[in-house]
Structure 1
């Protein structure tokens, strides 16, 4: 502030003493507020770090979002209760980082009733902690309208709390939706299509969100699979429905278009879908890569791929290319009588391929195979060393 400005300020302040008072008061208020905010932020950090032994990183992350703890005693009671219920510090850090507001939640209305429901149904302390820490938002859902009905439905389907826990640890979506209107309705519909319960239950474990689509959408998926010509009595029918359900109508049409652009006819596409629906869940980039690698060998053509569409699912780097290299060397030295079919290349287990094509010719391909195995982190070198 220059000399002229200083004189003007003091002259104005002298003529207007209230201005000076108000300015001084505002400055003090701002400074006090700033100090209080800093103090409260540090209180959150210290509370979590020192009192509950959170990691510095976790405490800092929470403190950056939660500027203050309104009721430290309440927050302390919540964390102590969770620890007594079997939650480790890792569980607590994960929960509070995801949902800092849990530190001010109602212990009696939000926490205890939900955990008691799990306990009464026979869930282990660790399972409860894993499920809730994966999705702490579930604690805010209704006990009567969501928790109890959901857990009851799942337990009736899966048979035990341990099995229900497996599913809930994979996906918290089951605690978000009305299962009677989604899961149960879809199961009944698929059963009416001829799908047995064993297959349906496997989908719950492997693709938990598949059966949570709206029943209206599920009927659309089935209709689309019917139009592709997949028989409902086929064991692949439910896999076909699941694959179709994983894409929007637009993406499904793009996937069919891409197969066409790769040189497959409409009949080829229908045939491949019937044989291996999961192949249609593969990215367009990988479809192109698999086709190019196989055709480049000069041993296979599009017809071979149509008859063995599971080749699209195989890893190019870990399976297709290494096996082609081994077979190429053996063929160049006339060490194999006949180049194996594509089904052999894509379906033969690694151990069997090793025993049939590598172990008898260790001098020619053993070093190459061991290098590939080491590069991919496989344990097949143990079999080679014992040969």
Structure 2
């Protein structure tokens, strides 16, 4: 898609084409730049306010998005917003970061840099937050600028640091859940008091806050009911598993919980067996339905084990399918096929044992250990390749790409697998999503030109800016 846009810039450098001429020369672009339908030969962009033009030209919004954002913020001159953008750029915010920040909180463009922005940015840095940390927190939760530094942010940070007994751990909790800085010290203290009153030790409360900082925004009555429910399940408040159970239960909705129960029931497990597994290993119920199905299919259908055995040893389910379970299951099948292990073999250690000891215990002592080790390493290597690229495949799937789409995109542009998911693929997709206002249209664009995912957001934004400046978009 943007190959055509880039081409148009080069060709049009000597002769400026009108929007009509541009679309006549590039008719296919109409099916991919949906937001262009709002642009016509009357040059209607000029009819919109200064705010809309600024949001498009300086922040990278599409016309549709700029019109929506302009309902929440208004200015007639560039002075204030320019000073705000300068601060963010000086702190390392990219165009995509600024775009997301302004989209979430448009009023930030009217902030006073010296009194509202800089003191809070400097506060984060003084506490040990790295520049990427600050950018991530502000981009995802710009409302932090809304609160008083002295009356809210500093007291909230100090409370967390004291509760967690570590500045570094407090930083991790805030990175995990920036909204925690919005919670008053009084409300956080009430949550802690409820846990203490129910017999949860301070060290376990710290564990809960560190792993599930959103617990601090809990409704107190709901928290009390949850504590009672977890206690009735068989967890003791003094044990660390108690707060792990709370974390798991607060991370899934009731409907999701029921779906996970249904998946386990399909494999023949009773309510009692599922509860027993949860009490032994609470993370057992944090697994996705797909992971539960995959683990059960591997052990029950492929290895012939009983589902009840998995429920009695629930830690099995927590291991990586690609890195551990599947390679070792294949080795076990290999050993059985060679008559080196009985088909009825059941061993928790076979899957629990660390890598170095696993080879000593289950491979090295066999006469043909070299052949077995070679087989195992082949499966591990294959697994490592799958593991390395799995997050990218899952990302494409989460955005709506079908399996044939995966194959088409990757086979036509395999270099995409070398690109960073977080630093390149996701930002590029998000930029296109904002530009085209539709994931479906973005998918069509990527299928037509997968190489676009290799384009830097800054470069794409510059291309769009040039087209806008020349009246094309």
Normalization by structure 2: what TM-score? Answer: 0.60
Structure 1 residues 236 and 342: alpha-carbon distance in aligned structure 2, compared to 1, 3 A threshold:
farther
Aligned residue pair count: 338
Answer yes or no: is 1:308 the counterpart of 2:313. yes
Flag the 1:80–1:43 CA change in 2: closer, same or farther, 3 A.
closer
CA distance in 2, matches of 1:353, 1:330: 14
Q: In the alignment, what sits opposite 2:183?
A: 177
Residue matched to 1:215: 220
Deviates more, 1:143-152 or 1:248-257: 248-257
Greater Rg by CA: 1
Aligned to 1:375: 382
Q: Which residue of structure 2 lines up, in the alignment, with residue 138 of structure 1? A: 144
Judging changes above 3 Å, is the alpha-carbon distance between structure 1 residues 193 and 378 closer, same or farther for their aligned structure 2 residues?
farther
Distance 1:170 1:267, change over 3 A: closer
1:7-26 equivalences in 2 (<5 Å):
none
Matched, 1:106 2:112: yes
Deviation at 1:294, TM superposition (A): 1.5
Structure 1 runs not aligned, ≥5 long: 1-30, 49-57, 380-387
Give how far 1:330 is off.
1.6
1:88-107 Cα deviation digits (max 9, x unpaired): 44654553454444223333
Deviations 1:32-56 (A, max 9, x none): 986353987665555x3xxxxxxxx
Alignment match, 2:60: 59
Q: Which residue of 2 aligns with 1:365?
A: 372
Residue 157 of structure 2 is matched in structure 1 by 151
Distance 1:212 1:368, change over 3 A: farther
**2:207/2:243 contact within 8 Å kept:** no
Q: 8 Å contact 1:62–1:96 — kept in the other structure?
A: no
Choose 306-315 or 154-163, whichever is displaced more.
154-163
Q: For 2:315 and 2:152, locate their aligned partners in 1 and report how far apart those are by CA, in whole Å.
A: 40
Pick 1 or 2: higher relative contact order, CA cutoff 8 A, min separation 6.
2
After TM superposition, list the pairs within 5 Å mapping 1:27-38 onto structure 2: 35-37=46-48
Alignment of 1:1-387 (within 5 A): 35-37=46-48, 46=57, 48=58, 59-61=60-62, 65=66, 70-83=76-89, 86-89=91-94, 91-92=97-98, 94-96=100-102, 98-107=104-113, 110-115=116-121, 117-118=123-124, 127-143=133-149, 145-159=151-165, 161-181=167-187, 183-297=188-302, 300-336=305-341, 341-358=346-363, 361=368, 363-377=370-384
Q: What is the alpha-carbon distance in structure 2 between the residues aligned to residue 337 and residue 262 of structure 1? A: 24
Cα shift at 1:310:
1.7
- The 3-state SS of whatever aligns with 1:374 is helix
Q: Structure 2 CA distance, aligned partners of 1:64 and 1:307? A: 53
CA distance in 2, matches of 1:89, 1:150: 28
Per-residue CA deviation, residues 10-63 of structure 1 (Å, 9 max, x unaligned), is xxxxxxxxxxxxxxxxxxxxx7986353987665555x3xxxxxxxxx635599
For the aligned residue pairs, the C-alpha RMSD in angstroms reads: 3.7
Give the whole-Å Cα distance in 2 for the aligned partners of 1:284 and 1:89: 37
* Alignment check: 8 A CA contact 1:331 1:339 kept: no
Does the 8 Å contact 2:101/2:140 carry over to 1? yes
